[in-house]
Amino acid sequence: MDVLINVFVGLHIIGIASLLGGFLTQMKAMSAGTARFVPAMLHGALTMLVTGVALVGLNQADDMSVNTLKIGVKLAILIVILGLVYVKRDDEKIEKPLFGAVGGLTVVNIFIALLWH
């Protein structure tokens, strides 16, 4: 089970790479107000949802306690990210504050995952 959990943590990290990496490629465009939610960001956000839910299930199946409040906060933040990226996936220009918010929320979720125990 440990191996399976670690495989899913690995997939979870690949999801972060896709979501945050997609955001970082758009930073220069964001300054100019011409950034867009690239497909990597949508697919990364979806990956976070699927692998995150799987990790909760695998940890519970393994009788390991999950911090439900922490996971609830991470899930709520991800729902906002996913909603914005999904609805605006075909927009050619995203306003700077909205685009910045998605990157900021992603970073917030990373630090919630790492600092909240």
What residues line the site for ligand HEM (CB under 6 A)?
9, 12, 16, 48-49, 52-53, 55-56, 59, 66, 71, 74-75, 78, 81, 106, 109-110, 113-114
For 78, other C-beta atoms within 10 Å of its C-beta total 20
The closest residue (CB) to ligand HEM is 52
Give 75 or 98: the residue with its C-beta nearer to ligand HEM.
Answer: 75
CB of 32 to ligand HEM, least distance (A): 25
Q: Could you give the maximum distance between any two Cα atoms of the chain, in Å? A: 49
Nearer to ligand HEM, 22 or 52 (CB): 52
Q: Minimum Å distance from CB 109 to ligand HEM?
A: 4
Q: What is the CA radius of gyration of the chain?
A: 15
**Is the Cβ of residue 14 or residue 29 nearer to ligand HEM in the bound state?**
14
What b/e string do you get for 92-117 counting C-beta neighbours within 10 Å, with b at 16 or more? Answer: eebeeeebbebbeebeebeeeeeeee
Query: How many beta carbons lie within 10 A of that of residue 28, not counting itself?
Result: 10
What are the phi and psi torsion angles at 89 (to 5°)? -65, -25
**Shortest separation between residue 74's beta carbon and ligand HEM, angstroms:** 4
- Report, in Å, the least distance between residue 86 CB and ligand HEM: 14
